Amino acid sequence: MATAALLQHASSALPHTRDRDRSTSRLGRTGRPAHRNIQIQPTLRTINEIIQALRERPLPDLSSAQRVTAYTNSRLPSIDPVTLAFHRALHAFRPLTPLYAVVPYAEAFNWSEITLEDDEEGTAREAEREWYVVAFRSRRRRGLSEEEAERLYRADRAAHEEAVARKILMYWLGAPFPSASEQDGAPIDDDLVGVNLATCIWNSRQDAIVAMRGEKHREAAKLASVSPPIGSPPLAGRWLPMEIQTTYETYQLERYIIRKEKGELGISVRDWHGGEPTDSPSTYAMSPTPVDDAPVLGAFRITGGRSFYDTASVEIIDQLLLPHQEVWEEVSTIEGAFDAIKTMKIRGAPAIASLASLGIAAELLNLLNNRPCPSFPASTLSSPPSELLKFLLDRTAYLLTSRPTAVNLREALSRIEAAAKAEASAEGATAESLARKVIDVAVGVWVEDKERCEKIGNNGAKWILEKLEREGTIQKGEKIAVLTGYGTALGVITSLHKQNRLEHAYFAQTGPYQQGARLTAVELASLGAPNTMVCDTAIGALLGEKRVHLFVAGADRIASNGDTANKISTYQISLLAHHPHPHSPNPPVPVLVAAPLTTLDLSMRSGREIEIEQRPSWEACTVRGRVVDPAKIAKGEMVAPAKEGEKVQVETVLVTPPGTNAWNPAFDVTPAMLIEGIVTEVGVAEKKEGEGEYDLRAFVEETTKA
């Protein structure tokens, strides 16, 4: 069978279970399960109807049948100890019967044998935790070709590798029941053919929701997309286009909770009743994804849709070419990461730190796999760890010079250096153990960055809405207008938009690099948020004439007193927001800075100590853009956006007299007195009443002491 050839691990090959101290599995059966059936053709039965029919008659004895399934493991460098213990316990996961796809979920697998191992402190036993499960019960279309099955499998695995970064704890693929001919004549009930049950276990529901919006999940969803029956309304209003014939006759998404009680090491499985099916995430890789849920264009993607640990490379979108061309550039070396950061192909302090870290990890992965590695001689792997450490510290110092203003870069590289030094001095350490330690820390920087951005956005949205409602500026549930910057600031916009609380997003051109016009515009368009660009010279007029409720900016470095270095023009916009035009009826606009804790530089007392990067004069004297016919644009003709990889004519033109000198700082410093709040992943820092500066050292100590 084609699928069997693709899936590598038989269920019998899973790790043997050990004696466990728990013998029963509980399943709550109250309320209505949050499951959703999706039927392809009106004449076909749902998966529930098929299963019910099978349960009403004797099922075949499949004890001798070869049931090929697959279990995928995840590399999880940054989860809590209890979840890590659960993740390890899941290696004993196995089906209790070959008919697992048609029995109730709690009876299909060996939940009673899944037991967490505890440490000496009793961390796991004393914890009370829940994890989120999405099960995919389906019947594959009859006559699916080997080519279609292989494409589906590859897309599914790519989606899984993408999901690893979102803390998927286990993905058990299962395998569709074969036909009698495929099973060497075994008496398979015809209704069983093609039926399967796959399981995804997540650290949290939110992780599942975010992963569903990933690029590879969307690609897999397209591949296995389901078209609505003729004459019936489409689910969620819209559907992604099909790329092949419908893959499934019918399928159902089922959601469960795995719970571990305090004082126990075993687990229980129960239905999830957290909301209506329409409010539930379509988290399985091949579920249909509404177009409205498409993610904001990201800065990174894994090369070839495979695991970073397999490819030792990532692809970044060349921001210098946006919005005219969507070009992804592979980065697999430290030099490649340095060049992308220095030439501003990638921007945003957290993204810069992630790319530098991944550049280091990529080269060390190549070193471990005997592949070309420019920064580390092959001999270092057989030398004492101190030799590899010497080369590593040289490379981190080099990467730090690519963008001196970005404190996240320094913090990430400092973490890597500290981990490397600790490992190199540990008893029994080797160059290989040092390399693996650094790889895990470096990848962790990237994973944590993505998680932080979401938390920052939610915290910022909550803070401004509660503030405006408390002050009586807006009514409860009313939408607000926001003037936004690029990077982490857009997390607040995203959160407001998802809550249906964003009336309008305004953004500045942000010359001379036109970051607003080129990058913020692309992100807001992909988000689907209502937005308008404002000329840099028109910000004062905007704040005077339009009702704007908030100015939110990102940050490249924040001193301990709250002084903030960010993209040029942040200071002047903050001044205008703080001092409205005397003829305007609009009140002052609060200024919110959005940044992760890693951007706080507590070693700096004020913004006077922040080094400001100066860009070349020619950058301010030139403009780069797509060549168009102005006469056609004046007539209202639309310019079609370029597709990924499509080349359009892009030119750089001089807009000043030759030889013009330009003073071109990349950043400015906004004093703390103009900033009303600094939102991080752990909360919002505010000044004490009557004070003009922050005590960010106290804020960090208070919010991170736990």
Residue 530: partners with Cβ closer than 8 Å, 6 or more residues away: 502, 503, 504, 505
Q: What is the largest CA-CA distance in the chain?
A: 88
E strand intervals along 100-167? 129-140
| DSSP secondary structure letter of residue 516 | I
- 556 part of the active site: yes
Residue 261: partners with Cβ closer than 8 Å, 6 or more residues away: 128, 268
Contact status, residue 486 vs residue 349, Cβ threshold 8 Å: no
The partner residues of 626 in beta bridges, in order of sequence, read: 650
Measured CA to CA, the distance from residue 218 to residue 291 in angstroms comes to 9
Task: Catalytic residue, from 556, 563, 601, 668: name it.
Answer: 556
> How far is CA 517 from each of CA 289, 509, 535, rounded to the nearest angstrom?
29, 5, 9
| Closest CA relative to residue 507, chosen from 469, 554, 539 | 539
Which residue is associated with the tokens 């792997």?
381
- Counting runs of H as helices and runs of E as strands, what totals does the chain give? 22, 23
Contact status, residue 284 vs residue 136, Cβ threshold 8 Å: yes
| Closest CA relative to residue 375, chosen from 397, 357, 394 | 394
Measured CA to CA, the distance from residue 589 to residue 56 in angstroms comes to 67
Contact status, residue 672 vs residue 562, Cβ threshold 8 Å: yes
The partner residues of 684 in beta bridges, in order of sequence, read: 679
How many of the other CB atoms lie within 10 Å of CB of 276? 9
**Continuous H helices in 405-481:** 407-425, 431-471
Measured CA to CA, the distance from residue 102 to residue 603 in angstroms comes to 61
What H or E segment, with its residue span, contains residue 150?
Answer: helix 146-164
Q: Which residues of 620-657 are buried (b: 16+ CB within 10 A; e: fewer)?
A: bbeeeeeeeeeeeeeeeeeeeebeeeeeeeeeeeeeee
Tokens of residue 676, six digits = 């009303």
| Closest CA relative to residue 54, chosen from 171, 170, 152, 197 | 197
How many of the other CB atoms lie within 10 Å of CB of 499? 14
The partner residues of 68 in beta bridges, in order of sequence, read: 10
Residue 578: partners with Cβ closer than 8 Å, 6 or more residues away: 588, 589, 591, 674
> How far is CA 128 from each of CA 207, 258, 682, rounded to the nearest angstrom?
19, 11, 22
| Closest CA relative to residue 571, chosen from 684, 648, 643, 665 | 665
Measured CA to CA, the distance from residue 10 to residue 254 in angstroms comes to 24
DSSP annotation string for 136-148: EEEEEPTT--HHH
* Cα Rg, the chain, nearest whole Å: 27
3-class DSSP string for 195-230? EEEEEEEECCHHHHHHHHCCHHHHHHHHHCCCCCCC
The catalytic residue positions are: 556
